[in-house]
Chains A and B, each alone.
Chain A
Amino acid sequence: MTILQIDRLSITFGGVRAIDGVSVAIDAGQVFSIIGPNGSGKTTLFNLVSGIYTPNDGSIRLAGETVTGLAPEQLARRGLSRTFQNLQTFFRMSVLENVMVGRHRHERTGIIADLLHAPSVKRQNEATRQASRAALARVGLADVADRSAGSLAYGALKRLEIARALASEPTVLLLDEPAAGCNPIETQDIDRVIRSIVKEGITVVLVEHDMRLVMNISDRVHVLASGRTLTEGTPDQVRSNPAVIEAYLGVHGSQEAVRAFD
């Protein structure tokens, strides 16, 4: 079943067509990766899908419902969540509190109750804390729950953002370069976390540069170049596609690469 359907999406920034007629169909429960050289529009595509940008053309359908142009908070309520390439950690809060914000769309108290710390708020806080601890456990951060978020290492912060997004119980999770800046050990941790997420039936859409991670973990790979679709297929198909190598390394480079593989 197609959970995320992107049709001929386009957006122009001041004369530059950042995304040009891109169509993608993602099936539920998949790990779907979007790759491409720098500037190919991967993060722009994510920003379009997560409602941060509004496209000029095309449509986006989530679980059959047209969601083009909806704001990020509205998409969150429909089960779409994402992490960020440049960390958007809530540094002033503790690790646990970061994840608790992730529970926001499941919390049901109003401002008056909050001000008065009504019993409903006490119960809500407790429920939120429990669910948040569970999310932290899944990414292996349960024992640092009460530390300040600012005290965590980079790789841990990336996992924290994933836990936070998981806490919102998404059906589709967009991970924007989760392994960027991570060393091989941290990347392995990310790999494990993603696999465990997929086991629960959450669809994971990945933008990533780390080719080993992408090839190991993806069910399908979509290649962007200069804002347009270059090709799409299984990891093996994409890996051996000369046009893909050319897009990354240029014509010269791809010739060199061919020679290197001989």
Chain B
Amino acid sequence: MSVRALLETRLLSAIAVAAIVIVLPLFFPSGYYYRIGALVFIFALAVVGLNLLMGFAGQVSLGHAGFMGIGAYAAAIGPVHFGAPSWLSLLAGAALSGVIAFAVGRPILKLKGHYLAVATLGFGLLVAIVLTNEAGWTGGPDGMAVPKLALFGWRVSGSDEWYWISGATFVGGFVLALNLMDSPTGRALQAIHDSEIAARVLGVDVARKKLTVFIVSAMYASVAGSYLALFNGYITPEGAGFLRSIELVAMVVLGGMGSIVGSLVGATVLVVLPQVLTVFHEYEQALLGLIVMGFMIFLRRGIVPSVAAVIAGWRK
């Protein structure tokens, strides 16, 4: 793709996504849809971060919900136990996630393939266990209530208000990710995905780059987790659990690994589906399993790259 085209794509994508956020509410049949939209953008934010790690750098994290959990509980524990304002707690949560990602990432990012997958899985589960057990801080398995976000006297509580906040944040995160792609660090990450050894002989400090993207993706997840907590007003350790981690990976795979736009698609499908299937709530897990299996077997590239390939085929 020519440089001009890339530039246009980046700007165009950003404008298109912002347009979607702004225009979408015009089609909402009721106020309830603000809630769905907010949830989609919150998860899409986490998925963008995970996509940077999995799609670009080619690493894998089966425990990413752990970072969402850290962000979520930070947003709760800060106000409840320390009297800190919510926004500050959110930032503290993101910082904490970054620090933990650094500490955990350094040893485990040396691992490859299924060893890395299992190590991240173990990490995520440990976070969930700690959150479940330290009931004094976290309210234990039943979770805890999260005080509403208050910004300069404005108490944020409506679904529509959260729609705009999460939508704007998602667009911001989206743009940052696109920026990263078109930068020295982004090129280094993509190189690492294709050939670590070649990247190294060209001077890329692979260990450091992997750690960097791991930390960035952890902070994305943490912010998303904080938003989710503040939005819902209640959190439980399940938000940091195994199933949530797999949902996040499923969103990445569905939308297309390495496709930032795909992050939005994947999040939309897996957030909207349970809403559509509320009558069939029991079938949720079976369906999630089927979706993960189906895509990994038949449509590994994901929706957006596959659609793009089909369109490219038409053009010829």
> Do they bind each other?
yes
Q: Is the interface of B mostly helix, strand, loop or mixed?
A: helix
Contact A104 B216 (CB under 8 A): no
Q: Mark contacts of B190-202 with chain A using CB atoms, 8 A cut-off: 1 yes-contact digit, 0 otherwise.
A: 1101110111111
Contact A93 B203 (CB under 8 A): no
- Residue in A closest to B184 when the chains form the complex, CB atoms: A107
Judged by a CB distance under 8 angstroms, whether A206 is at the interface is no
Q: How far, in whole Å, are A95 and B220 apart by their CA atoms in the complex?
A: 31
| Residues in chain B near residue A90, CB distance under 8 A | 190-191, 194-195, 198
Contact B187 A115 (CB under 8 A): no
| Residues in chain A near residue B183, CB distance under 8 A | 109, 113-115, 117, 121, 124-125
The interface stretch among B78-86, B117-125, B174-182, B275-283 is: B174-182
Of the listed residues B198, B200, B201, the one surrounded by the most CB atoms of chain A closer than 10 A to its CB is: B201
Judged by a CB distance under 8 angstroms, whether B30 is at the interface is no
- Residue in A closest to B195 when the chains form the complex, CB atoms: A88
Judged by a CB distance under 8 angstroms, whether A50 is at the interface is yes
Contact A115 B197 (CB under 8 A): no
Q: How far is the CB of A131 from chain B (nearest CB, A)?
A: 13
Judged by a CB distance under 8 angstroms, whether B1 is at the interface is yes
Of the listed residues B191, B195, B204, the one surrounded by the most CB atoms of chain A closer than 10 A to its CB is: B191
Which of B1, B191, B201 lies in contact with A50, CB distance below 8 A? B201
Contact A89 B204 (CB under 8 A): no
Q: List residues of B (190-224) whose CB comes within 8 Å of A's CBs.
A: 190-191, 193-195, 197-206, 212, 216
Q: How many B residues, CB 8 Å from partner?
A: 31
Judged by a CB distance under 8 angstroms, whether A91 is at the interface is yes
Contact B182 A117 (CB under 8 A): yes
Q: How far, in whole Å, are A104 and B203 apart by their CA atoms in the complex?
A: 6
| Residues in chain B near residue A77, CB distance under 8 A | 203
Q: Mark contacts of A112-150 with chain B using CB atoms, 8 A cut-off: 1 yes-contact digit, 0 otherwise.
A: 011111000100110011000000000000000010000
Q: How far, in whole Å, are A109 and B202 apart by their CA atoms in the complex?
A: 16
Judged by a CB distance under 8 angstroms, whether B188 is at the interface is yes
Judged by a CB distance under 8 angstroms, whether B169 is at the interface is no
Contact B204 A101 (CB under 8 A): yes
Contact A73 B203 (CB under 8 A): yes
Q: A90-B195, A101-B188 are in contact. Are A76 and B3 (CB under 8 A)?
A: no
Judged by a CB distance under 8 angstroms, whether B13 is at the interface is no
Contact B202 A93 (CB under 8 A): no
Judged by a CB distance under 8 angstroms, whether B93 is at the interface is no
Judged by a CB distance under 8 angstroms, whether B266 is at the interface is no
Q: Mark contacts of B230-272 with chain A using CB atoms, 8 A cut-off: 1 yes-contact digit, 0 otherwise.
A: 0000000000000000000000000000100000000000000
Q: How far is the CB of A238 from chain B (nearest CB, A)?
A: 28
| Residues in chain A near residue B195, CB distance under 8 A | 88-90
Of the listed residues B176, B179, B185, B202, the one surrounded by the most CB atoms of chain A closer than 10 A to its CB is: B202
Q: List residues of B (129-185) whose CB comes within 8 Å of A's CBs.
A: 176, 179-180, 182-185
Q: How far, in whole Å, are A104 and B1 apart by their CA atoms in the complex?
A: 21
Q: How far is the CB of A86 from chain B (nearest CB, A)?
A: 10
Q: How far is the CB of B59 from chain A (nearest CB, A)?
A: 15
| Residues in chain A near residue B193, CB distance under 8 A | 92
Q: How far is the CB of B207 from chain A (nearest CB, A)?
A: 9
Contact A72 B184 (CB under 8 A): no
Judged by a CB distance under 8 angstroms, whether B186 is at the interface is yes
Which of B3, B176, B203 lies in contact with A115, CB distance below 8 A? B176
Which of B176, B191, B198 lies in contact with A84, CB distance below 8 A? B198
Q: How far is the CB of A149 from chain B (nearest CB, A)?
A: 9
Which of B202, B212, B258 lies in contact with A168, CB distance below 8 A? B202
Q: List residues of A (55-97) whose CB comes within 8 Å of B's CBs.
A: 71-73, 75-77, 81-82, 84, 88-94, 97
Q: How far is the CB of B1 from chain A (nearest CB, A)?
A: 6
Contact A104 B194 (CB under 8 A): no
Contact B204 A92 (CB under 8 A): no
Q: How far, in whole Å, are A92 and B256 apart by their CA atoms in the complex?
A: 14
Contact B180 A101 (CB under 8 A): no
Q: A114-B186, A117-B179 are in contact. Are A81 and B201 (CB under 8 A)?
A: yes
Instruction: List 7 A-B pairs, minimum CB-CB distance, nearest first.
Output: A105-B203, A76-B203, A114-B183, A88-B198, A117-B179, A88-B195, A72-B200
Known: A113-B183, A114-B180, A115-B176. 11 other contacts (CB 8 A): A72-B200, A81-B201, A84-B197, A89-B194, A89-B195, A89-B198, A93-B187, A101-B187, A101-B202, A101-B204, A117-B182
Some 10 contacts from A to B, beta carbons below 8 A apart, are A51-B201, A90-B194, A92-B190, A101-B202, A102-B202, A111-B216, A114-B180, A115-B179, A125-B184, A164-B202
B residues neighboring A (CB under 8 Å): 1-3, 176, 179-180, 182-188, 190-191, 193-195, 197-206, 212, 216, 258
